Structure 1
Amino acid sequence: MNETISTILKRRSVRAYRPDPVGQPELDLMLEAARHAPSAMNQQPWHFTVIRNPELLRQLEEHCRGAFLDSKVEALREIARQEGFSVFYHAPMLVIISGDPSALAAQYDCTLATENMLLAATSLGIGSCWMNAVMMLHATEKGKAIFRELGIAFPEGYRPYAAAAFGYPAEPWPETPPKNADCVTIME
């Protein structure tokens, strides 16, 4: 099997991280991979906000947990009430991918860039986990105010479309969960 396919099949959501920071050379490679993602009409409408400050991560995480507690989704409220729950799983780094909503397909473009980052991280032995909590929080007026208060800014008019936690796994690489093989229709 070639290296690219092997990396794709290996990637998992890591939910326990060591505190060791992701090095700058590794981050640079991950961001380079993200910037090489396809985008509609090559608009590249993305911006990457990297948060490595532990106190800022803690504060943002606490507000995201609050958004879970305020959610209409019982499963999110239940998770947030668990003792010791960490929205970002104690990852030492969070990357928020924001985009220009006036672009042709900003949400998809930013998501593609995120997947490139996730795969690049895996290839470097760095764990990752997609984080919807950031967009959930930012979707509310209260959340937007919290982002301003915390000083988490995006380019003028941009909004967050994706986020992911990154770090070195604290536990063995997760096993492959069952995959749905009955999801393909081939029309010849």
Structure 2
Amino acid sequence: MNETISTILRRRSVRAYRPDPVGEAELDLMLEAARHAPTAMNQQPWHFTVIRNRELLDDLEEHCITAFIESKNSALREVAKMAGFSVFYRAPMLVIISGDPDALAPQNDCTLAMENMMIAATSLGIGSCWTNAVMMYYATDKGKAAFEELGVTFPEGYQPYAAAAFGYPAEPYPETPPKKANCVTILD
């Protein structure tokens, strides 16, 4: 099997991280991979916000947990009440990709960039985990105000479309969960 396919198949959501920071060289490679993702008509409508400040990560996480507790979704309320629950899994770094909502396909563009970033991270021995909490919280008026209060801002008019925690795994990657077998139709 070639190295690229092997890396894609090895990538897992990591939910336990060592506190060691992601190195500058590794971060640069991950961001370069992200910026090489395809975009609709090559608009590249994105901006990458990297948060490595532990206090800021903890503050943002507390806001997101509050949003879970106040959610109308019972599953989110229940998970937020669990002992030790952590939205960002104590990762040393969070990356938020915001985009221009007036672009042709900003959600797709930003999501593709994040996937490239997550695969690049795996190839470098760095774990990652997608977190929808950032976009969910930012979508509320309370969330927008909290982001601004915390100093987590995006270019004028941009909004977050993708977010993931990154860091070195504290334990081996989990086993591959079963994948759906009957989800492909080929029309020859």
Common topology (TM > 0.5): yes
| Corresponding residue number in structure 1 for 2:104 | 104
Letter in 2 for 1:35: R
User: In the TM superposition, what whole-angstrom CA distance separates every residue of 1:94-146 from its partner, at most 9, and x where no partner exists?
Assistant: 00000000100001000000000000000000000001000011000000000
The alpha carbon displacement at 1:14 in A equals 0.3
- 1:67 aligns to 2:67 (yes or no): yes
SS in 2 for 1:165: strand
| Corresponding residue number in structure 2 for 1:169 | 169
SS in 1 for 2:104: coil
The alpha carbon displacement at 1:18 in A equals 0.5
| Corresponding residue number in structure 2 for 1:159 | 159
Q: Distance in 2 between matches of 1:150 and 1:82?
A: 25
The alpha carbon displacement at 1:3 in A equals 0.4
Within a 5 Å distance, the mapping from 1:47-86 to structure 2 comes to: 47-86=47-86
SS in 2 for 1:108: helix
Q: Which runs of 5+ in 1 are unaligned?
A: none
- 1:186 aligns to 2:168 (yes or no): no
- 1:148 aligns to 2:143 (yes or no): no
TM-score, reference length from structure 1? 0.99
| Corresponding residue number in structure 2 for 1:10 | 10
Q: Identity of aligned pairs, percent? A: 80
Letter in 2 for 1:124: L
Aligned residues: 188
The alpha carbon displacement at 1:9 in A equals 0.3
TM-score, reference length from structure 2? 0.99
Q: Which runs of 5+ in 2 are unaligned?
A: none
SS in 2 for 1:153: coil
